[in-house]
Structure 1
């Protein structure tokens, strides 16, 4: 059986996020979905005791999730039934499940709300920073993966097929995307998401199609951080820009560059990038 593509479809991404939401928070019910045509379509539910939430569609500005969507910030009600701060268009679904406390977190991609994740409790429950942080983290991870996937799919769609020759501009776009992706992956704490990002990096790196297989010595001794820094240097980033992208100090960037140059037997960063490409470590 072939390995699944690292680029997951919408339903799979949401399913994974909701499962993580249920696992990381104390809320017994978790559900969520992405926005289509001005409404959030709930596609995954975990922990529900009834089928009341099945197929729920929450329109912008309506209900708790609709407010979270248009305001692009988390919304919460400790007692859904008596809340006066929201419309009650979805009472049949939410109260039908017996939910008292409801917490809605928007999924943001480039500042735009792409969906909403919900946590619910059958009893009234206080929600502080400790309880809310895991939900923020999961929504942030989902937003990151949606953003990365959209960008990678755009680049892959514009890449030439096997019969075509890649232009210099297309090659540089791929190299820039690769550097950006490594910068994003460097800040991701979730191991599963980071591994999928690494798989996507490999697909991007392979698109140029002209790099031989990396030698065993370089593959073993060049660290991930050294490759991160070289990938940014390869698209012309300064040490300060590399530091900002990877969340490092500028002195640390210089140290990684010096180490990579020494391992690649290169006297300049440009020579190190060239040798890393020849070794198949960079696109």
Structure 2
């Protein structure tokens, strides 16, 4: 499966993940890349002594990374040179770097292997849970970033152009509101500024698609991101407990955000707050 966003943004994500591997694990060097057309091209290296690994293209099922890609699970070669569990298609590059122990972690997004991150040592070394756990977390974080980008691309591709409210039926409005709330939840967990900017633009497009027939002057009000998150869930009929679960907040915190939003909107009930937020263009 080909990468779904521009190569520059993909390369930046991989470079950050590889840098995190070198900084947060006990492995002295790391490298990695994303899958494209059945192969992983190494686009980032940190801590290596040579340039042998830069640009290396690893085919599916070949070498340690190729196995990790196909099997969708981490693979370890304690002594790469003598390992009988992998093909040695890439010995020139890997042994040229002087790799002894190599650890490959696939980046799995919604069941698809989208890349491989590697950690290595120049001297043979045992790999325990303390060493492996940070690497798993970094691979998972990269997978989450890619999942978010996929979702952004999907919604940007299928989101209709803004249309007057009368052109939207009840089912369409409900779908817009669910999409908006989901994007708000996703955005809260994203650190990448480019993705956050694109999410914000998409949220604005969704909010503009439906006024729910509300007329009259739009109130001027500014809600915090979390107040908007909570109100978007209220608009779907969620209880405080359900909102807390969806946003990973305490129920008391949800209540505080909701009360703050109601105060800013000068609304006496949660439903009135939703209506005023829609009139202000904050919610779809």
TM-score range, shorter chain: 0.7 to 0.9
Query: How is 1:113-262 mapped onto 2 (pairs within 5 angstroms)?
Result: 113-161=113-161, 168=168, 172-187=174-189, 192-193=191-192, 195-208=193-206, 210=208, 215=220, 218-219=221-222, 222-262=223-263
Contact map agreement 1:6 1:196 (CA 8 A) in 2: no
Output the TM-score relative to the length of structure 1. 0.79
SS in 2 for 1:120: strand
Q: Which residue in the other structure is 2:267 paired with?
A: 266
Measured in 2, the distance between the counterparts of 1:213 and 1:114 equals: 45
Contact map agreement 1:171 1:208 (CA 8 A) in 2: no
Contact map agreement 1:178 1:201 (CA 8 A) in 2: no
SS in 2 for 1:9: helix
Which region of structure 1 is more displaced relative to structure 2, 166-175 or 176-185? 166-175
Task: Report the CA distance between 1:106 and its aligned residue.
Answer: 1.2
Q: Which runs of 5+ in 1 are unaligned?
A: none
Task: Report the CA distance between 1:165 and its aligned residue.
Answer: 5.8
Which region of structure 1 is more displaced relative to structure 2, 205-214 or 11-20? 205-214
Measured in 1, the distance between the counterparts of 2:257 and 2:90 equals: 54
Contact map agreement 2:187 2:199 (CA 8 A) in 1: no
Whichever of the two has the greater Rg, that structure is 2
Contact map agreement 1:181 1:197 (CA 8 A) in 2: no
Contact map agreement 1:39 1:58 (CA 8 A) in 2: yes
Which region of structure 1 is more displaced relative to structure 2, 248-257 or 117-126? 248-257
Task: Report the CA distance between 1:277 and its aligned residue.
Answer: 3.2
Pair 1:6–1:173, CA change in 2 (3 A): farther
Task: Let me know the Cα RMSD of the aligned residues.
Answer: 3.2
Measured in 2, the distance between the counterparts of 1:241 and 1:196 equals: 30
SS in 2 for 1:53: coil
Q: Which runs of 5+ in 2 are unaligned?
A: 212-216
Contact map agreement 1:6 1:200 (CA 8 A) in 2: no
How many residues are aligned here?
Answer: 270
The answer to whether residue 64 in structure 2 is matched with residue 58 in structure 1 is: no
Output the TM-score relative to the length of structure 2. 0.79
